[in-house]
Amino acid sequence: MKVASRPSVEQLKTSEFWLLGIAVGLAVIHISLVLKADDSNLQGMSAVFWLAAGSVLWGKKDSLQLESDVFSSFFGGTLIVLLLIKSITLTGDDPFLKIAPLISAVAVGLLASGFRGLKQYWQEILCLGLLAIPSGPIGVVFDPSPITAKLSALMMLLGGFDVQAQGTTILLNGKPVVEVLEACSGLESMIYLLKLGIVSLFMFPMSRGWKKALVPILAVLMAFVINCFRVIVLTLIVAGDQQEAFDYWHTGDGSLVFTMIAVFCLGGLCMFLSRSEAAECL
C-alpha cells in the first residue's frame, strides 16, 4: 500500500494550491451564511450546485490553462474582497446569497486564467449562476395554479372522489375545500427541479442530444405532478378538519417531503439514462 505524502513547501507555493484554497474558502463561507438563512430550498440547492461545480472542475483539472494577467488578477481579487466585506454585513435571508456563488466563480476564474481563459469555466459559472435566477418574474408571466387545481381534481376523480375544479378552487362533494394559490401551484418546485436537471447534465455524462433535452423537460413534469399529489393530500386533510396536520404538510417539514421525492426521482432518471448509455457503448 502506498502512503500519500504531504504537500511539500514548494507545492504549497504554487498557484494551484492558492486557487484551490480560495475557491474552497469562498464555498465554505457561502454555505455557512446560507445555513443561517431560513430558506431550506436555497440551502439544498447551494450544497448541490457547489458540489456539481467542484465535480466538473475536478474532472478537467489537468487540461486547464492557468495563465492570468495583472488586470484580470486585480479585478478578480477586488471581487473577492468585496464579497468578503459584504459577507460580514449580511443579515438573514439576503438576496445577495443567491448571486454570491456566481461572483465567486467569475472571480476565481479571473485569478486562474484571466478574461481570455474564463470560457474554460463556463460549466461551473452556469452551475452557480443558476442560483441567481429568481422565480418571482416567472410567476408574473406564468401562473400554473389553475392547471394544478384541474390536474389534482382529475387525479382525485380517477381515485373515486366526488371532486371538481372551478378555476383555482377544488370542490369536494360539492363544497369548496381549498384554493390553489401561486405558492402551492408547484412553480417553485418546477423551477427548483429544472435547475437541478440542468446541473445533472454536467454530473451524469450523456452524449445523445435527445437525452440531454429530455432531462430538464421530465424534471419540470415530475415536480408538477408530485406537487399535485401534495395538493391532493392537503385537500383531504382540510376536508377532514385536521388543522395541525395541514400546518405540517403545508408550511412545516412535511412540505419538504414532496420536494425530496421529486429530487430522488430526478436522480434515479439521470442514473438510468447514464447507465443505459454506458451499456450501449459496450
d(Cα 73, Cα 96) in Å, to the nearest integer? Answer: 23
Has residue 7 got a pLDDT over 60?
no
Q: Which residue has the cell 448509455?
A: 277
Phi, psi of 90 (to 5 degrees): -70, 140
pTM of the model: 0.82
pLDDT band at 145, cuts 50/70/90?
Answer: very high
Candidate from 8-17, 165-174, 262-271 with smallest mean pLDDT: 8-17
pLDDT higher than threshold 80 for residue 153 = yes
Please tell me what DSSP assigns to residue 278. Answer: H
Q: Is the pLDDT of residue 10 over 70?
A: no
How many whole angstroms separate alpha carbon 143 and alpha carbon 183?
10
What integer pLDDT is reported at residue 3 of this predicted model? 45
Mean pLDDT of 180-189: 86
End-to-end alpha carbon distance in the chain: 32
Q: What is the pLDDT of residues 76-95, one digit of tens each?
A: 999 999 999 998 888 777 88
